[in-house]
Chains A and B, each alone.
Chain A
Amino acid sequence: MRPPDNRRRRFEELYQANHDPVLGYVVRRTANGHDAADILAETFMTVWRRLDDVPAGEKARPWLFGVARRVLANHRRGERRHTALTARLASELSAIQRQPRKESADVDALAKAFAELSDGYREVLSLADWEGMSIAEIAVVLGCSANAVRIRLHRARRRLARALSVDPPRRAARAQVPEGDSA
């Protein structure tokens, strides 16, 4: 039985709107084009299978990122599912050349500090700064509360700042007792 047209239309809308963001997410987290192609294809295969579960509106994209994240994790665990769908894609993505950039010393230091963070901290930071996601969106990707994301992000940035020793100068604490408020 062929899927009804509206199902296909819904998928195509999701695909058009999210292909590049999901591809970006995947490319930034994979070592080579073949892996990126597999993960991208597997992610959208899942979207097709799970079309009824994809939330409407703005929540669709973080939901898709959540799927891509899971596919990526499975991939890293060795559960690779190569598909025949991706030959052309894999060949095009294999052309990605990561030119070693000439980085300034402060970028090197930032890269080193970032690399030394735990996976969880790197994940929230990269979702926020590379994927430009809001806290609410990251919460959907990671499947946790917005507060948990906010706290993790806050701690991640703080750790980064401490590693770079660029904490802003401490304000002089006042000796006077402020207006009282019972704790």
Chain B
Amino acid sequence: MTKISISRLNPVTDNEIAVLVSTEARDELAEHITAATPEPAPRSWWCRRLIVGIPLMGVATAAAVVAFSSGWVGPQRAEAAALSFQREGGYLVVRVQDPNADPERYREEFQQRGMDIHLKLAPTSPDKAGKVLFMEDRDDPAGRLEVVEGSCGERACSVAVKVPVSYRSYASIVFGRAVEQGEMYDTGADDEPGEGIGLPGIDKYTVAEAVAILRARNVPIEYRYQYRGSDRPYPNGIPADKVDPDWYIHEGLRGSENQAILFVGPEPEG
């Protein structure tokens, strides 16, 4: 399978890099940096915290927050609030009331309190539901955000964000939630095509070979068409009877109903 690489365009090789800086200059930089007692980063500095599936606070804490979530100041609007805000010491504990709400509503509700916080719930596998998938915040004199992980289904969610009351910097947080019918997972820790459906290296299989394996495992199959960057003429998926068994598989993803979704085409992945 042809795989175009840009390795030849690499402006500097690793070997060239290794001899670029003298040991003295290297040590001097490290010495200068560590000579300074770490200070809080400047406010404009971005800090990206990537937390994938690591519980940050204990279940007991999560439960305690849930117990207090009686809607501190709900937004004044006809529809039910997507978030609840409750004051707890120097923090606002912000809980997700409606895990299916448009993220724009979360943003508005934060905005009503002068906060620039973007919250999103992404469909994910059951073991990541209620966990933080992504978090990015900026330094703020008020302190840092804390997240409270919990469980998160389609209708109810016990996750929360603890925001210092005077926090005014930007932050973005993505929690995982259970998938709805027909949804595909939004995140995955897969490394190779097909890993999510238990067939790593699926791009080396023909359709016939992959189908035989998946059938033996009783995995339902759906197909998506890809040809030279286009999904035409099958933008909504190609029927199985139009798929040639000798075609190439580009990718295999797991759908929300545990079906395998195979991206196939008459040519190998470019």
Q: Which residues of A contact B (CB under 8 A)?
A: 1-3, 8, 11-12, 15, 19-20, 23-24, 27-28, 40-41, 44-46, 48-51, 53, 55, 59, 63, 66-67, 70, 74, 79, 85-86, 88-89, 92-93, 96, 98, 107, 110-111, 114, 125-126, 129-130, 134-136, 140, 143-147, 150-151, 154-155, 157-162, 164, 166-168, 170-171, 173-174, 177-183
Contact = CB atoms under 8 A, between A and B. Distances in A.
Most buried by A among B4, B12, B220, B244: B4
Contacts of B7: 129-130
A173 B244 contact: yes
Nearest to A44: B33
Most buried by B among A3, A114, A150: A150
Given A8-B34, A44-B29, A49-B41, A129 B21 contact: no
Interface size bracket, B side: 35 or more
A76 B243 CA distance: 47
Given A79-B44, A92-B25, A150-B193, A157 B3 contact: yes
28 contacts: A8-B34, A15-B30, A24-B14, A27-B17, A28-B11, A45-B33, A48-B34, A48-B36, A49-B39, A66-B48, A85-B33, A88-B24, A89-B21, A107-B8, A110-B6, A130-B6, A144-B134, A145-B188, A147-B186, A154-B250, A154-B251, A157-B270, A164-B4, A168-B268, A170-B267, A173-B266, A181-B240, A183-B222
B211 to A, nearest CB: 6
Given A44-B30, A168-B1, 14 more contacts: A3-B38, A20-B17, A44-B29, A48-B34, A110-B6, A146-B188, A146-B191, A147-B186, A147-B187, A147-B190, A160-B6, A168-B267, A174-B244, A181-B215
B20 interface: yes
B56 to A, nearest CB: 12
A140 B38 CA distance: 24
Contacts of A178: 207-208, 240-241, 243-245
Interface string B222-261: 1100001100000001111101111110110100000000
B88 to A, nearest CB: 24
Contacts of A20: 14, 17-18
Contact of B4 (A28, A44, A67, A166): A166
A126 B9 CA distance: 9
B13 to A, nearest CB: 8
Contacts of B29: 40-41, 44, 85-86, 89
A159 B267 contact: no
Chain B, interface SS category: loop
B72 interface: no
Contact of B21 (A92, A173, A181): A92
A126 B24 CA distance: 30
Contacts of B251: 150-151, 154
Contact of A41 (B33, B46, B207, B253): B33
A20 B17 CA distance: 6
B63 interface: no
Given A1-B37, A11-B34, A146-B189, A160 B48 contact: no
Contact of A53 (B25, B46, B47): B47
B33 A157 contact: no
B77 interface: no
